[in-house]
Chains A and B, each alone.
Chain A
Amino acid sequence: MNYVFQFNVVWDHFPELLAGAWLTIRLSASAMALGLCLAVLCAYGKSAGPKLVRRLVAGYIELIRNTPFLVQIFIFYFSLPVIGLRLTANTAALLAMTVNLGAYASEIVRAGIEAIPQGQVEAARALGLKKLQIFRRIIIFPAVQTVYPALASQFILLMLSSSVVSTISAVELTAITNSLQSTTFRSFEFYFVATGLYLAMALGFRAGLSSIYWVVFQRGRAASR
């Protein structure tokens, strides 16, 4: 091996990499919030909606879960303009990430819903609560709490797969790394450092998501005791 590593070029461009990482973080965090809302809606539709809604939601979930994210991005960015829906790269990326996460997360949320003891639902019904009330006040909160670790893993997988949106010129970390390495010819060094940044972001998101869990589920419970 007679290759000389030169990481100082990478440090010269480090602020640009950080700017890319910041877009990755913003895209991922927005997609996580929107995707969770979509997931809860779909989980409600699939467990309580009319038959047609159930079928539609099931179809959406199967469709997304059995096709690659990359192809989904291409459809949002390259195919939709043909029917007049022209999105910017960032919007298309956010939309694709949200739609993708929504499908995976709704299956996770549904597992949480199914773990709620049937007696609680019956008790709520006996008290005369309506379907939506039961879902909102009895089911969804403990259901999400039960499956929170699985949701958090899915969120982090989403953040990692966001590197793929570099292909539609959304200038997040991977895209910036691509352009920097092509002008400096230090491919290995740049990709190595970018990989490290992703690892750091994954650990950061995991810590952040754990503290959200604590704030939302543990603190409220400690106070009410």
Chain B
Amino acid sequence: MGRSFGSGEFLYLLKAIPWTLLLSLGALVGGGIVGLVIAILRTAPSAPLRWLATGYIELFQGTPVLMQLFVTYYGIAVLFDIQVGAWPAVLTAFTLYSGAFLGEIWRGSIEAIPRAQWEAAACLSLSFPKQLWLVILPQAARISIPPTVGFAVQLIKTTSIAAIIGFVELTRAGQLMTNTTFKPMIVYPVVAALYFILCWPLSLLAQRLEKRIDASLGVKQHFSGV
């Protein structure tokens, strides 16, 4: 009954990890660009621009990423009359998805910068783009690092959903190996362990960075037991 789960099967799972990482990295970079635009629009002086960005965030944070994947996959085919493969569709969907989340994270970082910094920059007669680029963003970037690393963990986990439309990354590889070996009790825990090995160090890094930034900003650490 089926093959056994040996080193060959394990190797097959390992070989799928680069696809998971590549997809996450691509979505992080693409989403970073979208997210920066969204974050800036969200804090822009013009109200319609703010509404536009808010609508974008509401749309992508208010619908399941799986649905976004389906709509992108079939939407590209319908709107542009071309049949695209899984890879571009998945990358587009995850880029739009992470753009919304990063936009919201970075908006928080921008708004955490004291109002006086904007006013001081305005007093130096810097234009809005210059206020943003020279004064606000460098300070906001520092605060935004821990939650961005935290989001990277979320993104790595979310890319597993690409398996549902047949894109072969770690989870899909696990499904395929289950189908050939009939050993779900071994394969899926191994897949989970591999994800854990990818995500846990990043989670710890995010926690450590957060503590360090809190300390440098003078945020009091709470230690409380009952």
Instruction: Kindly specify which of A29-37, A60-68, A210-218 makes contact with the partner chain.
Output: A60-68
Would you list which residues of chain A between 1 and 58 have a CB under 8 Å from chain B? 1-3, 44, 47-48
Would you list which residues of chain A between 85 and 140 have a CB under 8 Å from chain B? 113-116, 118, 121, 131, 134-135, 139
A161-178 near B? 1/0 per residue, CB < 8 Å? 111101100000010000
Q: Is B133 an interface residue (CB 8 A)?
A: no
A62 neighbours in B (Cβ, 8 Å): 200, 203
Interface of B is mostly: helix
Q: Closest B-chain residue to A199, C-beta based?
A: B62
Q: Closest B-chain residue to A76, C-beta based?
A: B188
A118 neighbours in B (Cβ, 8 Å): 224
A115 neighbours in B (Cβ, 8 Å): 222
Q: Is B146 an interface residue (CB 8 A)?
A: no
B74 neighbours in A (Cβ, 8 Å): 187-188, 191
Are B62 and A202 interface neighbours, CB within 8 A? yes
Of the candidates A68, A75, A192, the one having the most CB atoms from chain B within 10 angstroms of its own CB is A68
Chain B interface size range:
35 or more
Given contacts A65-B203, A74-B188, A188-B75, contact A139 B63 (CB under 8 A): no
Of the candidates B68, B74, B79, B226, the one having the most CB atoms from chain A within 10 angstroms of its own CB is B226
Q: Is B67 an interface residue (CB 8 A)?
A: yes
22 cross-chain CB contacts under 8 A:
A1-B81, A2-B81, A44-B226, A48-B226, A62-B203, A63-B196, A66-B195, A66-B200, A68-B158, A68-B171, A69-B157, A69-B160, A71-B191, A71-B192, A82-B185, A118-B224, A156-B62, A163-B64, A188-B78, A198-B62, A199-B63, A202-B63
Interface residues of A (CB under 8 A from B): 1-3, 44, 47-48, 62-63, 65-72, 74-75, 78-79, 81-83, 113-116, 118, 121, 131, 134-135, 139, 156, 160-164, 166-167, 174, 187-188, 191-192, 194-195, 198-199, 202-203
Interface residues of B (CB under 8 A from A): 58-59, 62-68, 70-71, 74-75, 77-81, 153, 157-158, 160-161, 163-164, 171, 174-175, 178, 183-185, 188-189, 191-192, 195-196, 199-200, 203, 222-226
